[in-house]
Amino acid sequence: MTDSTQTLERLATSDYKYGFVTDIEQDTVPPGLDEAVIRLISAKKQEPDWLLEWRLVAFRHWLTQQEPQWAHVHYPKIDYQALSYYSAPKKKTDGPKSLDEIDPELRRTYEKLGIPLAEQAILAGVAVDAVFDSVSVATSYKGKLAELGIVFCSFSEAVREHPELVRQYLGSVVPYRDNYFATLNSAVFSDGSFVYIPPGVRCPMELSTYFRINASNTGQFERTLIIAAEGASVSYLEGCTAPQRDENQLHAAVVELIALDNATIKYSTVQNWYPGDAEGKGGIYNFVTKRGLCKGRDSKISWTQVETGSAITWKYPSCILRGENSVGEFYSVALTRDYQQADTGTKMIHIGKNTRSTIVSKGISAGHGQNAYRGLVKILPTAENARNHSQCDSLLMGDQCGAHTFPYIDVQNPSAQVEHEASTSKISEDQLFYCQQRGISMEDAVSLIVNGFCKEVFKELPMEFAVEAQKLIELKLEGSVG
């Protein structure tokens, strides 16, 4: 254990020695959704009129839309009037008083993942002041980034400090009328992240939501906007491998990425929200719209996702390849077990000349899990010499689970080259026995084989994240064989 962790542990267990507790009234709007609620949200956030107007237009459009039914997922009807659409960031008094009050199962998970104590406390929403250390770390990073002209802040702050950027790009990739959930988000979004990398700047560190702790707990209708100007590059990490305490069942986030000429954006996600219990009760509905626009020449957007949580995952991180020679990539591992359902994939829309895209999707189903890959590769008439390679592999564990592949290919330019490979396999008895004969236990053998299966995707993750993702998959598969 490092010194700093020990210090944090002392702080965390020292009975509020450095603590001061203030009772803060919960700032929550009653359930229900109408224009008044949207005006209230906007007013509370002291938003400019144009943004309120944008929200209202979205809301009016949402009223005319139908919830999509095409995904390969099943869930009871959501009563949107029963949800509360605004809750101010939860204050520290809100959570458990110490880690001892946390569900032991959750703590065991944290320990297995090797999450430092301080981080465990944050994730679990524990009211300990030891987290202040991390906040100061975050602040020092912020200073360094500011020197380079990089803007990395909460969405609300961006609306206040950089309204011209927000106004220019908000909804430019995912328009408010895009789809049911994106439209709902546009009307009621609470907060999220904003990143702007100025021309020619390579962001010197991975930007992570973790370093934005003070602005966390904005989960439900999160809105993220990342802009990389000409020649800029950035790697952004979303989420965390640990299960986060969360009481919202419906998550409808929107992420928009914009890459200008020669810009590169790498967006990595590890999603491990509450999947529901072993009988399929509860769990998060994760209905997310993520899309990147390669607006400039030679720009590149790369999505990497490791989806292990949520009861239902419905997300298709996509790339619109408008700039000439632009590149889109999608690397995905989706794991479903118990009664989890995932319908995920990507859309690669080729518009510009010589645009290229790569899709690597790895689905793992265990227990009663249902895993669907759904992907669209669209080559428009303008996309001379477009290239796509897609590879979709499914791994089945047990005989109650399912894997489904729905590839859609739409080619409107004869010079295009589109390749699609798909495979479905099971972990074979022979593989397991081979490992066991070398001394490796059945469970370790399973994670070894599964990690091998996911390797192509894991290697796209930033190093530390990759190690965590690997541990997470191991943990998720515990008890799923034998």
Give me the residues that bind other proteins (CB under 8 A), please: 428-431, 433-442, 444, 448-449, 451-456
Q: Phi/psi at 32 (nearest 5 deg)?
A: 120, 155
Could you tell me the smallest distance in angstroms from the CB atom of residue 249 to other proteins?
35
Could you tell me the smallest distance in angstroms from the CB atom of residue 453 to other proteins?
6
* Closer Cβ to other proteins, 259 or 457, answer by number: 457
DSSP 82: G
What distance in Å separates the CA atoms of residue 227 and residue 233, rounded to the nearest whole number?
Answer: 10
Could you tell me the smallest distance in angstroms from the CB atom of residue 91 to other proteins?
44
**Alpha-carbon Rg of the chain, whole angstroms?**
22
* Closer Cβ to other proteins, 61 or 362, answer by number: 362
Could you tell me the smallest distance in angstroms from the CB atom of residue 474 to other proteins?
12
Asked whether the beta carbons of 291 and 255 are under 8 A apart, the reply is: yes
Tokens of 284: 């998060």
* Closer Cβ to other proteins, 50 or 433, answer by number: 433
Q: Phi/psi at 194 (nearest 5 deg)?
A: -135, 130
What distance in Å separates the CA atoms of residue 238 and residue 211, rounded to the nearest whole number?
Answer: 10
Could you tell me the smallest distance in angstroms from the CB atom of residue 68 to other proteins?
34
Beta bridge partners of 389: 358, 419
Could you tell me the smallest distance in angstroms from the CB atom of residue 1 to other proteins?
17
Q: Which residue has the tokens 């944290």?
A: 110
- Mapping DSSP onto H, E and C, the string for 137-150 reads HHHHHHHHHHHCCC
Could you tell me the smallest distance in angstroms from the CB atom of residue 9 to other proteins?
24
Q: Which residue has the tokens 């065991």?
A: 108
Beta bridge partners of 154: 193
* Closer Cβ to other proteins, 230 or 443, answer by number: 443
Asked whether the beta carbons of 250 and 78 are under 8 A apart, the reply is: yes
- 66 burial (CB, 10 Å; 0-12 / 13-18 / 19+) is exposed
Please name the amino acid found at residue 426: K
Could you tell me the smallest distance in angstroms from the CB atom of residue 436 to other proteins?
4
Enumerate residues 6+ apart whose C-beta is below 8 A from 15.
none
What distance in Å separates the CA atoms of residue 305 and residue 280, rounded to the nearest whole number?
Answer: 23
Could you tell me the smallest distance in angstroms from the CB atom of residue 448 to other proteins?
6
Indicate the Cα dihedral angle 143, 149, 154, 156, nearest 10°.
Answer: 120
Q: Which residue has the tokens 């894997």?
A: 403
Q: Phi/psi at 81 (nearest 5 deg)?
A: -80, -10
Q: Phi/psi at 374 (nearest 5 deg)?
A: -130, 120
What distance in Å separates the CA atoms of residue 264 and residue 355, rounded to the nearest whole number?
Answer: 14
Cβ atoms within 10 Å, residue 34: 12
Q: Which residue has the tokens 């990073």?
A: 141
What distance in Å separates the CA atoms of residue 256 and residue 189, rounded to the nearest whole number?
Answer: 13
What distance in Å separates the CA atoms of residue 346 and residue 304, rounded to the nearest whole number?
Answer: 11
Beta bridge partners of 307: 271, 334
